[in-house]
């Protein structure tokens, strides 16, 4: 594959949401895409059956990957290194999910798996694939979130994983600039993906945790409201990701959607303690 002149992309989490939509758009623009998903080639061909009928089968390749398992992640890295040995133009760390609910009721295993998928997997993919990215003077796009710079109750663990992504993105921005490797954290607000469906809630399996039961019910109502009334067409984010794939220069952070921009402005113009007091009142009064 080293002789292929198409731009090459490795993207995680292509089975649904932003990853699925971005992969479709990349194929329409004649990129060579290697996608990571659970179930690998058989599941990938099923999900992208329509696209596979239209394109050269060598334009979309699949790797069976469980990002929260070290052995699987290492296998994925080996496969990508072989398939894209000529270099990687774009690495898109898209895969992730939300562990939601009160931190107290989340099990240690759940928290560790959250960080394995949302933080450690992207970090080690970047580390191991950087020689191939540097070969093409490529770029890295990390899917973050508005909770990567702001914090909401019951989003604590998920938010922490995205704050970590924000930190390594900025650090790598400084470290890689002399090699002409660009990196960007994408911070979407509320968009209709399978996030709510793929999110996991901490378990109310101890009697003392029942103190959260009423608030969790209100929280679930809030999530349903967000899904029905607030979340917007994910194509908006998809188009922004494609823009970042094709732009000559990219910023270290990009916010997408009203909620992301509003929360960013609020955090910048308002004294921290005042903002926290106001948010605490809002959460308790209307949401939780």
pLDDT in tens, 233-275: 889 999 999 999 999 999 999 999 888 888 899 899 999 999 9
Q: What is the pLDDT of residue 220?
A: 78
**What is the number of residues in the chain?**
288
- What pTM was estimated for this model as a whole? 0.91
pLDDT tens per residue, range 12-52: 999 999 999 999 999 999 999 999 999 999 999 999 998 88
Q: What is the pLDDT of residue 175?
A: 98
82: in domain:
yes
280: in domain:
yes
Q: Structural domain of residue 97, as residue ranges?
A: 8-287
1: in domain:
no
Q: What is the pLDDT of residue 2?
A: 46
Q: Phi and psi at residue 233, in whole multiples of 5°? A: -60, 120
**Does 162 participate in catalysis according to the annotation?**
yes
Report for 64-73, 144-153, 273-282: range of highest mean pLDDT = 64-73
Q: CA torsion, points 101, 221, 226, 14, in degrees to nearest 10?
A: 50
pLDDT tens per residue, range 68-123: 999 999 999 999 999 999 999 999 999 999 998 889 989 999 999 999 999 999 99
Identify the CATH number of the domain in which residue 191 sits. 3.40.50.720
183: in domain:
yes
Q: How many domains does the chain have?
A: 1
**Does 248 participate in catalysis according to the annotation?**
no
DSSP string, 18-42: HHHHHHHHHHHTT-EEEEEETTHHH
| Cα 171 off chain centre by | 18
- The catalytically annotated residue of 155, 158, 173, 212 is 158
Q: What is the pLDDT of residue 100?
A: 87
pLDDT tens per residue, range 182-237: 999 999 987 655 655 556 666 556 676 778 888 888 877 777 776 666 557 889 99
Residue 285's pLDDT band (cuts 50, 70, 90): confident
3: in domain:
no
- Three-state DSSP state, 168: helix
2: in domain:
no
Q: What is the pLDDT of residue 223?
A: 73
User: How far is it, in rounded angstroms, from Cα 190 to Cα 70?
Assistant: 31
118: in domain:
yes
- The catalytically annotated residue of 7, 15, 97, 144 is 144
- CA-nearest of 170, 138, 134 to 246 is 138
State the helix-helix crossing angle for 70-83 and 121-135, rounded to 10 degrees.
10
184: in domain:
yes
**Does 15 participate in catalysis according to the annotation?**
no
- The catalytically annotated residue of 15, 145, 162, 173 is 162
DSSP string, 189-211: -SB-SSHHHH-EE----SGGGGG
Q: Does the structure show a pLDDT above 70 at 158?
A: yes
């Amino acid at each position: 594959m080293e002789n292929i002149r198409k731009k090459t992309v490795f993207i995680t989490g292509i089975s649904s949401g932003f990853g699925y939509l971005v992969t479709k758009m990349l194929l329409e623009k004649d990129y060579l895409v290697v996608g990571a998903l659970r179930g690998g080639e058989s599941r990938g061909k099923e999900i992208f059956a329509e696209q596979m009928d239209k394109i050269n089968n060598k334009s979309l390749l699949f790797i069976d990957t469980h990002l929260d398992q070290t052995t699987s992640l290492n296998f994925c890295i080996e496969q990508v290194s072989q398939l894209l040995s000529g270099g990687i133009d774009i690495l898109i760390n898209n895969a992730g999910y939300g562990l939601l609910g009160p931190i107290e009721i989340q099990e240690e295993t759940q928290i560790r798996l959250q960080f394995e998928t949302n933080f450690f997997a992207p970090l080690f993919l970047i580390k191991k694939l950087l020689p191939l990215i540097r070969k093409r003077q490529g770029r890295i796009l990390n899917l973050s979130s508005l909770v990567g710079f702001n914090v909401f109750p019951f989003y604590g663990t998920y938010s922490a994983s995205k704050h970590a992504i924000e930190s390594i993105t900025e650090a790598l921005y400084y470290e890689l600039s002399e090699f002409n490797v660009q990196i960007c954290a994408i911070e979407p607000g509320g968009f209709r993906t399978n996030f709510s469906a793929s999110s996991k809630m901490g378990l109310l399996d101890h009697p003392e945790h029942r103190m959260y039961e009423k608030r969790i019910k209100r929280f679930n109502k809030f999530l349903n409201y967000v899904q029905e009334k607030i979340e917007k067409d994910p194509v908006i984010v998809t188009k922004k990701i494609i823009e970042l794939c094709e732009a000559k220069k990219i910023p270290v952070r990009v916010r997408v959607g009203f909620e992301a921009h509003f929360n960013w402005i609020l955090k910048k113009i308002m004294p921290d303690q005042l903002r926290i007091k106001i948010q605490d009142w809002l959460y308790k009064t209307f949401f939780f």
